[in-house]
């Protein structure tokens, strides 16, 4: 029989088999490790067990909370990010008006121009996107690796910018404002039922509002259980080299 579970969020469900009296527990665990799907659960009559339902609800709850979460500003402050905000005024508006999450006011753009290094080789931007938790979990590891790598290669790096209530396209406006060669935007991915910490990195050569979405090269699935953030940082350094050498990005770049 299954032992009592007190806190459902601390159990490793990649290994927990809830079938009653399984014939081969080891095989079940092996299967479970190969997928995020909820398998080897057992059942109560023709329905799922209470534990399965609770876990599903708990995961869904994490995803919902992630959307409404805020970036811990002490992290961006410590890393020396310059903070700006899109036209969005609060989380609710951010969800309802995707268009406003892509643009800045003229004052904000002037502020960026006035306070940030102009024409750097690489401009780094971080934004909450649909999961601030992803930024909280990964930024402190990926950012310094990225800086170390880029510095060692001799690239000039712009003042890092944190965008509150931002979407991916904010990188175009920022790039145009400060004339960066390569712009990297780190953004929280839409949370799923597997993790709320997954981050994507979008990057473009001479990122511009006039170019289509296909200008962007992306690495997704950056989190503890996916691509480790430090390894993604090192890989980004390589991609920056490629983008600068080829003077293009996105689908134009065949990598």
Partner 1 sequence: MSVGIDIGTTTTQVIFSRIKVENTATSFLIPEMKITDKKILYKSEIHFTPLLARDKIHLPELKAIIESEYDKAGIQKDEIVTGAIIITGETARKNNAEEVLRILSDFAGDFVVATAGPDLESILAGYGAGAAEASNHFTARVVNFDIGGGTTNGAIFWEGEVIDSFALDIGGRLIQIDQQGVICYVSEKITPLIHYLQLELVVGLKAKLEEIKALTDAFAKIFVQISSSEDIEEEAVKLFIGHSHKGLKAEKIMFSGGVAEFIYSDYEIGSMKDVTLFGDIGPLLGYSIRKIFEKDQHRLVEAREKIRATVIGAGSHSIKISGSTILFDEDLLPLKNIPIIKLAENEDIEHMFNGIGEKIKRYGDIPVALAFKGPKSPSYGQIKEMAKAIAANAVGSHPVIVIVENDFAKALGQTVMNMLNAGTRVICIDQIKVDNGDYIDIGKSIANVVPTIVKTLIFKQ
Query: Which residues here bind partner 1, judged by CB under 8 A?
Result: 24, 26-27, 30, 140-142, 144-145, 148-149, 151-152, 218-221, 223-225, 227-235, 237-238
* 123 beta partners: 183
Nearer to partner 1, 227 or 243 (CB): 227
Half-sphere exposure at residue 182, Cβ-oriented, CA atoms within 13 angstroms: 27
The answer on whether 189 is annotated among ligand-binding residues is yes
- The rounded distance, in Å, linking the Cα atoms of 143 and 159 is 12
Only one residue has tokens 């996105």, namely: 250
Q: From the CB of 134, what's the least distance to partner 1, in Å?
A: 14
Q: From the CB of 231, what's the least distance to partner 1, in Å?
A: 5
Q: From the CB of 176, what's the least distance to partner 1, in Å?
A: 25
CB 215 within 8 A of CB 250: yes
Q: From the CB of 186, what's the least distance to partner 1, in Å?
A: 14
Nearer to partner 1, 147 or 163 (CB): 147
The answer on whether 168 is annotated among ligand-binding residues is yes
Q: What SS3 state is found at 41?
A: coil
Q: From the CB of 152, what's the least distance to partner 1, in Å?
A: 5
Nearer to partner 1, 88 or 222 (CB): 222
* 59 beta partners: none
For 211-222, the DSSP string reads: S-GGG-EEEEEE
Nearer to partner 1, 20 or 148 (CB): 148
Q: Which two tokens stand for residue 253?
A: 């770049």
Nearer to partner 1, 94 or 143 (CB): 143
Nearest to 85 by CA among 72, 63, 104, 64: 104
Annotated binding site for adenosylcob(III)alamin: 168, 189
Annotated binding site: 168, 189
């Amino acid at each position: 029989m299954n032992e009592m579970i007190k806190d459902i969020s601390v159990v490793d469900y990649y290994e927990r088999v809830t079938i009653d009296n399984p014939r081969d527990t080891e095989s079940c665990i092996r299967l479970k490790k190969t997928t995020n799907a909820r398998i080897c659960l057992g059942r109560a009559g023709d329905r799922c067990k209470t534990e399965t339902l609770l876990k599903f609800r708990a995961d869904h709850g994490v995803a919902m909370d992630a959307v409404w979460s805020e970036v811990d500003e002490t992290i961006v402050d410590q890393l020396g990010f310059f903070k700006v905000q899109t036209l969005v005024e609060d989380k609710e508006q951010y969800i309802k008006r995707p268009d406003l999450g892509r643009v800045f006011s003229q004052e904000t753009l002037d502020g960026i121009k006035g306070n940030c290094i102009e024409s750097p080789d690489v401009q780094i931007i971080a934004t909450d996107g649909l999961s601030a938790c992803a930024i909280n979990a990964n930024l402190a590891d990926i950012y310094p690796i990225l800086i170390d790598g880029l510095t060692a290669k001799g690239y000039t790096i712009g003042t890092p910018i944190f965008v509150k209530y931002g979407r991916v396209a904010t990188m175009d406006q920022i790039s145009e404002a400060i004339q960066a060669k390569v712009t990297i935007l780190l953004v929280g991915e839409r949370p799923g039922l597997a993790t709320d910490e997954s981050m994507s990195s979008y990057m473009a050569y001479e990122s511009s509002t006039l170019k289509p979405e296909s200008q962007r090269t992306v690495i997704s699935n950056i989190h503890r259980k996916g691509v480790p953030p430090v390894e993604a940082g090192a890989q980004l350094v390589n991609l920056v080299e490629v983008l600068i050498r080829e003077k293009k990005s996105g689908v134009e770049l065949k990598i």
